[in-house]
Structure 1
Amino acid sequence: IPLDLLARPMFALSVGTSIISFTAQMMAFVALPFFLQGSLHLSAVETGLLMTPWPLATMFAAPLAGWLSDRYSAGVLGAIGLTVFACGLMALSFLDADATKFDIIWRMAVCGAGFGFFQSPNNRAMLSEAPRERAGAAGGSLGTARVLGQSMGAVVVAFLLSSAPVAGVRHGFQIAAVAALFGAVMSGSRVRRRKAEPEKEIEAV
């Protein structure tokens, strides 16, 4: 655990935001098959195809967000991305047994676009906050945050499904949406902290 890097507020906020976002992502990924196969009675192939809009949207949103991160604050871009992500997750929670495939596709695309728009700027912010000689530790933190968040998301959904097999899926989407919104607030807080840092440096001089 790179404690020296986590002592940097901007790095710690980026890691925390990453953990929360991957928690929300995995909650949705684990809950979706139960809804698609359990409630809509779709086959495994149909379920897989209906989940592809998410990574496809991420694939297109991530490069755009990476390009914008050279011009705008990662805190702002991350907050926008996670807010869109939360809206997509909340929209998924309103699906019912009468949902059409189009209803599922556009919601998945919104989730993927929001998540992709957040991920690239956040990763860039994490790596840029670390000194060059600690680049390896910063890169390792990316993987640790991802796995920790995904593990937490899977555990939460497993608990929800064991407690309420039917309503657990809907609650999983709702909790994931709240987590994504909390991550958006954390991401946005980096903007204010970033503005405060130059002021402290001036006072110190």
Structure 2
Amino acid sequence: MPPPNFTPVDRTRWLAVIAIGLSIYMATLDMTIVATALPTIGHDLNSTATGTQWLLVAYNLPMIGLMIPLGRWVDVVGKRSSLLLAIVGFAVASTACGFAPNLGVLIALRVVQGTFAALIAVLVLAAAALVIAPKDRGKAMGLIGVIGPLGSVSGPVFGSLIVSQLTWPWLFFVNVPISAIAFALVAATVKDAGKLRAPAPAWLGAAAVVAGAFTLLLLGIDNLTSGSTVVGVVMLVGAVVLGAFWSRTSDAANVTGVLRLPPLLSLDSSLLLVTMTGGSMFFLMPYILEQHMGRTAGEVGSIMFAMPLAMGIVSFIGGQLADKFGDWRAGLVGACLAVLGVALLFTQGEQWTTAGTMWRLAIVGAGMGLFVAPNQSATMKFAPRERMGTASSLAGLARNLGFTFGPAVGAVVVGAGRSVNALLVVPLVASAGAALIAVVTAVQIRRLNREPAGPATAVVPQQPEPVGNPE
């Protein structure tokens, strides 16, 4: 049973669900919309390819490094007001990006933009808990799961169209009307009496340590995969040192306290591995199809589209199945489908056919789509209301780390010049691990569902220490 302090709403506000989906769509859109325009931006701002790559890094660093600190802050502030702040901040930062006079300023503004995007990502589950009734939890998370990931998928397409028809600043200006719609919907439909408060100095210190640790981790991985072994190792050691320092703080104790609530650790672990499967597939398949199978770039795009298409279609269906048959059943089937789809890629022989590759990728995408909505629905169900910000940040961190580690490990394998089957081992191991953990999650949820509600069986975590200054 969920903890007794989790007070659900009795009627789902579907416009609010759409608003949350639009917000996360906007945040994920800017992860990829700039990628296809990097040469144009570099030419206009007199920068090299190495310099413009930092436009992607600058946005993604806060999306990982600030997730946990922002989750702790969201625990003690109003969810409606903080979501409105995130949307406005993202729109203002996007507008400023469009007027950036040089690359240095644009990179700095991308960090600000990524910070507000991270806040939006943290608020997905925390705000959703205010507007989604338990009976619609899976369906609503499935809808958000359809709208949100479309941003990263459609980003390169929109980026190419905008640059070809307009100028690169419109890559950022396009966020303004989306922000306006999301702001209006949130303001009208999300009800929450909580207010904003400034973070306390202790929170700022903890945030700096955590952000520094994850920044060194990501830059260390990037240096290792690009061949700078010594620099990469030094950065990874620095990340471990900062992580060890943070682990001894009370802030870390509050975060790990949430993870100790079953089944949250297994939910986040399986989510990390499922997204790592997807991240490695999106990275490795172009190499396999172009270099080993001789396909053109256009053919690769068409073949790979089967995976996100199936993911989007099945995500909403997966949410409905979760509401009808239970989160753990739908999530377990999704994880097993993903590993089945990857395993079937091994059966194609030396030359892959277009149709054969597409339906196998569709199975992988369908498995991921079927898995994510029940996974997020279960997190909402078992996380305490007053710790929903932390729980949401941990889920978001797992998702972002999976999409980061997948390509990183794939790059190492590609660099070693391995065979097609060796390349596919990366997503196979990740998806198999996710399926095994999904079994553990299913056992935990079944046991919790059999337990009667009451103080003797419910696990109530300690109250989080304040991370904001008193009002």
TM-score (norm 2): 0.40
Contact kept, 8 Å, 2:266 with 2:437, in 1: the verdict is: no
Structure 1 residues 128 and 171, CA, compared in 2 at 3 Å: closer, same or farther? Answer: same
CA distance in 2, matches of 1:203, 1:143: 28
Deviation at 1:196, TM superposition (A): 5.4
* Identity among equivalent pairs (%): 27
Bigger CA drift: 53-62 or 63-72?
63-72
Deviation at 1:201, TM superposition (A): 6.6
Which residue number corresponds to residue 78 of structure 1? 331
Post-superposition Cα deviations, 1:92-122, rounded to whole Å, max 9, x if no partner, equal 2333442210001100111111110111000
Contact kept, 8 Å, 1:23 with 1:152, in 2: the verdict is: yes
Q: List gaps (5 residues or longer) in structure 1.
A: none
* SS of alignment partner, residue 324 of structure 2: coil
TM-score (norm 1): 0.87
Deviation at 1:153, TM superposition (A): 1.8
Which residue number corresponds to residue 36 of structure 1? 289
Show the 5 A alignment for 1:110-189: 110-167=363-420, 168-189=422-443
Q: List gaps (5 residues or longer) in structure 2.
A: 1-67, 69-254, 459-471
Which one-letter code corresponds to 1:146 in the other structure? Answer: R
* CA RMSD across the alignment: 2.3
Deviation at 1:199, TM superposition (A): 8.9
CA distance in 1, matches of 2:276, 2:427: 11
* SS of alignment partner, residue 325 of structure 2: coil
Which residue number corresponds to residue 26 of structure 1? 279
Larger Rg: 2
Which one-letter code corresponds to 2:410 in the other structure? Answer: V
CA distance in 2, matches of 1:152, 1:65: 25
Structure 1 residues 186 and 176, CA, compared in 2 at 3 Å: closer, same or farther? Answer: same
CA distance in 2, matches of 1:102, 1:73: 33
Post-superposition Cα deviations, 1:144-184, rounded to whole Å, max 9, x if no partner, equal 01111222222322222233432432333432342343233
Q: How many residues align?
A: 204
Contact kept, 8 Å, 1:58 with 1:113, in 2: the verdict is: yes
Contact kept, 8 Å, 1:81 with 1:116, in 2: the verdict is: yes
Contact kept, 8 Å, 1:21 with 1:183, in 2: the verdict is: no
CA distance in 2, matches of 1:39, 1:136: 45
Structure 1 residues 66 and 166, CA, compared in 2 at 3 Å: closer, same or farther? Answer: same
Post-superposition Cα deviations, 1:49-79, rounded to whole Å, max 9, x if no partner, equal 1111111111111111111222322112111
CA distance in 2, matches of 1:60, 1:187: 24
Structure 1 residues 203 and 177, CA, compared in 2 at 3 Å: closer, same or farther? Answer: closer
Deviation at 1:20, TM superposition (A): 1.5
CA distance in 2, matches of 1:120, 1:128: 12
